[in-house]
Every structure is written in structure tokens, then in C-alpha cells.
Amino acid sequence: MFNHKQTIIMSNVLSPSQKLDVVELLETAGVECSKTISNNLGITTKQIGAIKTWYNKDKNGYKSNLINLINAEKRNIDKINKLYAKANNDFKNVVGKYKKEARQIMVNSILKGKEHGLNRGVIATLPSNTWAIEELIHNQVSKSFSYLACENKKSVFIDMVSNLNKFGRNNKPFLGSLSEVITNAKENEFDHIIADYCGVLDTFKDEIIHACLNKVVKVGGTISVTTLKARNDNEFTSKLNTLKADLSNTEVRLNDNESAIKMFFKSLCSITNFEVETEFCYKDTTPMILVVLKRTK
Ligand SMILES: C[S@@+](CC[C@H](N)C(=O)[O-])C[C@H]1O[C@@H](n2cnc3c(N)ncnc32)[C@H](O)[C@@H]1O
């Protein structure tokens, strides 16, 4: 069976930035702390031992060599990304109307989770190449969350990974769909889910239903979802609109997606341990709705 925890281990070879993390911890925490460092960084004591050996031979030389390698890697990745961005019409950091506000709303909800002790667990998220929400969380809520960063487009994934360790700690990248991560998650696995899809409800509703029914975020945790409000005649939203028309005995246009989307989340909450904390309409390249669900029990 699919196990995302196995899939996210990309390679046994440590990157220069992982090695530098070890060196910095050895310097601050002392050389006797291999076990703690191993637990914190998720790498083996044998690998730490090898780094110690090289570091002890020439402390400054080893460190500056790692820094040079990190800078070279970054320059290389920047080049690759520019080429990819040219070749693909992939996600770009569009500054839409109230998009910043939408991000801040998600962050505020995550801040409230601290009342439930949620400040150092795992957040499943779609940071894309911006890591914009995660940066706000890092600066305003906690630096100790660990991000399970999902991305299903390879070109964006490479860009996303180049900023993997800027915010949070022990972050893991996952090349694939957030739906795989959610449907394979255990109860209470995540502190929060930031499903900033900016996508069509029909394409991800099943995983959100799964997340709520199976309580994959902890009590006080949130599931933030951004979805396109734009007109479409998808089967699911059309069904919701037909229901609204039947209930209200009025004619409801099949493209009234705002009501349909809100109805979906309210209905989902009525059968699960979640409540709708916020609904917020904003604009990216096109109209969107942000819905924040919060687990209450
Ligand atoms: C709207 S962007 C995220 C923006 C970012 N959170 C921000 O605040 O700037 C969504 C990103 O997730 C990716 N994506 C969308 N749906 C996905 C899914 N179901 N699984 C994995 N990646 C997805 C897209 O390719 C895109 O890079």
C-alpha cells in the first residue's frame, strides 16, 4: 500500500544544506549530541559520525566548502527554474485582490490553534514556489512546525524544494497529489492542512470529505481550502444548485457557485466534528473562495 512517509525520503545522500544543519547543531549543541541531532533532523547517527570526522579535520574549510556548494546548487536551481517556467505555464506568484488577506486569514486560524497546544506538529500544505503562507506562520505563529510540502507539477516541485528549509523545521517534500497524502493519513496526523488549491471543488471534494470524516487534523486544527468560484457546470456544484432551487422554490442559476460551495462545506460540517470558521471571497487571477474549517471535538 502507498505510504507517503516512505515516498518522501528522496535519497540517502545528504545534501550540503543538511550537512551544514548538522555542523551548526554540533557547534551549538556540542559534539556529544549525535542522538538528539539524529532525532531532530531525521538522519542517522552513522551519517552524523561521518560529518563529524570531516568537520574535525578542518572546521572552517569544511564549513565554507558546504556554503559554496549550497550557493552553487541554488544558482543552478534558479537557472533550471527559469527554463522550466519558460517552457511551462506553471504557477506564478500572482498578487490578486485580497489574496494577501486570504493568506492572513489562514494564518490567524492557525494562530488560534495554539490555544489547543498546536505549535510544533506537521502541517500538510501546498507552498508552491512562494512559501508565502508558511513564511507568515514562521514569523507570526511558530518556527517549529514541520511542513509536508506537496506539489504535483515537477517543475514547480523543483522550485519549491529549493526553499524547503527556509521556514519551519524538518520539512519533507512530496512530489504528488495532496489527495494521496490526505487519504493515507491517520487520525490526528496533522496539526493543520493548508489546501490552497485555487482549484475546482469537484476535483478535490472527496479528499476533504475524507479528511473531515477521518479527523486527520487534531482538535483545534484547521483545514483551509481555496477554490475557484468561476462559472462552471460541473456535476457536483450543479447538483447543489438544483437542491438550493428545490429548497427555496426559486430559480437558481446553475452557475451560482458561491452558494453551492458554501453549502457543501456547511453540509460537510453538519456530519463531522468540524465547523466553518471563515468564508472569504477574494480574487486571484479569477474569483475565489477561501473556506477555513476547524475541528471542534
Ligand atoms: C495556488 S498555488 C499555492 C500558492 C501558495 N500557497 C501561496 O500562498 O502563494 C497551488 C500550488 O499547488 C499545486 N497543486 C494544486 N493542486 C494540487 C494537488 N491536489 N496536489 C498537489 N499539488 C497541487 C499547484 O501546482 C500550485 O503550485
Task: Give the start-to-end residue ranges of the domains of the chain.
Answer: 4-87, 99-295
- Closest-CA residue, ligand 1 atom 7, reads 132
Q: Are 168 and 131 in contact (CB under 8 A)?
A: no
Q: What pTM value is reported for the model?
A: 0.71
113: DSSP letter: G
Query: Which residues contact residue 70 at a Cβ distance below 8 angstroms, ignoring those fewer than 6 apart?
Result: 16, 17, 20
| 99-295 homologous superfamily | Vaccinia Virus protein VP39 (3.40.50.150)
CA–CA gap between residue 184 and residue 211 (Å, rounded): 10
- 284 φ, ψ (degrees, to nearest 5): -100, -120
For residue 126, how far is its CA from the centre of ligand 1 (angstroms)? Answer: 5
pLDDT in tens, the chain (297 residues): 334 443 333 335 677 878 888 888 888 766 567 777 777 777 788 888 888 888 888 888 998 998 888 787 666 656 555 554 554 445 555 556 688 899 999 999 999 999 999 999 999 999 999 999 999 999 999 999 999 999 999 999 999 999 999 999 999 999 999 999 999 999 999 999 999 999 989 899 999 999 999 999 999 999 999 998 876 677 888 888 788 888 888 777 666 788 889 999 999 999 999 999 999 999 877 889 999 999 999
What is the C-alpha separation between 61 and 201, in angstroms, rounded?
53
**Vertex 268 angle, CA 265 and 271, to 5°:** 150
Atom of ligand 1 lying closest to residue 126 CA: 12
The confidence score (pLDDT) of residue 92 equals: 52
Nearest CA to ligand 1 atom 13: 151
Q: What is the pLDDT of residue 88?
A: 47
Q: What's the pLDDT at 82? A: 57
Helix residue spans in 42-183 (DSSP H): 45-57, 59-87, 99-112, 132-140, 154-161, 178-183
**What is the model's pLDDT at position 11?**
38
What local confidence, expressed as pLDDT, does residue 77 receive? 58
Q: Residues 108-129, buried b or exposed e (16+ Cβ, 10 A)?
A: bbbbebeeeebbebbbbbbbbb
Determine the longest span between alpha carbons in the chain, in angstroms. 80
CA 232–ligand 1 middle distance (angstroms)? 20
Asked whether 181 and 148 are in contact (CB, 8 A), the reply is: yes
Q: Which atom belonging to ligand 1 lies closest to the Cα atom of 207?
A: 19
